[in-house]
């Protein structure tokens, strides 16, 4: 008994997903947001000087999580959610969702610009680029 070729879809509706320029830009935005979150969690972004009882100065550094505690994770989750939702939502609603999430991400970058917002500016820029790129591919994806 011969097995069916691996490239044949199981059902007529099971078509391979196409890689579109807009989809690639969305994945780039998500990746950049993840890099920014990783940086903010792992690299000391706070620095200060404390005076000791002997009068000498001691330089201190701390990460975002050390200074703000677990509540900082809520702020860091927002850009991740705003970049992954357009990837997960497809169909007709996908375009509207992409625009809405991009507007919210750019607002986050602007409003949080004096704290963590600017770390997410590259992700916001990639999301904006994704809005102006085509959502349809000219050829199906390679198997």
Per the domain annotation, does 93 fall within a domain?
yes
Per the domain annotation, does 16 fall within a domain?
no
Look at the chain and report how many structural domains it folds into: 1
CA distance 15 to 54: 72
Using the 8-state DSSP alphabet, how is residue 44 labeled? -
Query: Among 16-30, 38-52, 105-119, which is the least confidently predicted range?
Result: 16-30
Per the domain annotation, does 73 fall within a domain?
yes
Tens of pLDDT along 59-70?
888 888 989 899
C-alpha 124 chain-centroid distance: 8
Are 93 and 105 spatial neighbours (Cβ–Cβ below 8 Å)? Answer: no
pLDDT band at 25 (very low <50, low <70, confident <90, very high): very high
Per the domain annotation, does 11 fall within a domain?
no
Residue owning tokens 């500016």: 121
Query: pTM, whole model, 2 decimals?
Result: 0.77
> CB burial class (10 A; 0-12, 13-18, 19+) of residue 64?
buried
What pLDDT was estimated at residue 139?
47
What pLDDT was estimated at residue 60?
87
Per the domain annotation, does 143 fall within a domain?
no
Per the domain annotation, does 140 fall within a domain?
no
Are 142 and 17 spatial neighbours (Cβ–Cβ below 8 Å)? Answer: no
Range of the domain at 66: 21-132
């Amino acid at each position: 008994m011969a097995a069916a070729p691996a490239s044949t879809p199981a059902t007529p509706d099971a078509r391979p997903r196409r890689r579109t320029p807009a989809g690639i830009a969305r994945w780039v935005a998500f990746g950049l947001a993840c890099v920014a979150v990783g940086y903010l969690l792992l690299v000391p972004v706070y620095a200060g000087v404390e005076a000791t009882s002997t009068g000498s100065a001691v330089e201190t550094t701390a990460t975002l999580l050390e200074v703000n505690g677990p509540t900082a994770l809520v702020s860091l989750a927002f850009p991740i959610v705003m970049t992954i939702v357009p990837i997960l939502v497809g169909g007709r609603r996908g375009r509207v969702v992409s625009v809405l999430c991009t507007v919210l991400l750019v607002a986050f970058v602007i409003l949080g610009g004096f704290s963590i917002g600017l770390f997410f500016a590259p992700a916001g820029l990639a999301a904006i680029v994704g809005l102006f790129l085509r959502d349809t591919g000219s050829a199906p994806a390679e198997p």
